[in-house]
Amino acid sequence: MNAARSNERTRTWFRSDRVFLSDGKWFFHTREGVDVGPYESQFEAEIEAGLLRELIREGDGEDSAIGLIREFVVESYAMGRPLTPSFSDGS
């Protein structure tokens, strides 16, 4: 259903798949421009992407989002699950 409020224009929203396969491993892409992974399965990448998305949603804004992503990666590493994120903004 595409409903618009009375004071807004109707828009069409497009979503791209944020989980992708690269060199046989699964990754997910964040809105902040970070590719997080690798994961052994698509399901695992989707679950982890959902967890991180909720952490960011509960955060204070984009500046803290990058910090939360870094904490997410460090925590995964500490739990024996090393990730190799790619920060496209040069961070």
The pTM assigned to this predicted structure is: 0.72
Domain count, the chain: 1
Q: Locate tokens 């903004």: which residue?
A: 89
Q: What is the band of 87 on the pLDDT scale with cuts at 50, 70, 90?
A: confident
Q: What is the DSSP letter of 56?
A: H
Long-range Cβ contacts of 41-49 (<8 Å, 24+ apart): 45/19, 46/19, 49/18, 49/19
Residue 9: inside a domain, yes or no? no
- For residue 1, the model assigns a pLDDT of 45
Q: State the residue range of the domain holding 35.
A: 22-87
Which CA distances in Å does 70 have to 7, 16, 30, 74? 39, 23, 12, 6
d(CA 28, CA 2): 27
Residue 7: inside a domain, yes or no? no
Written as one letter, the residue type at 69 is I
Residue 16: inside a domain, yes or no? no
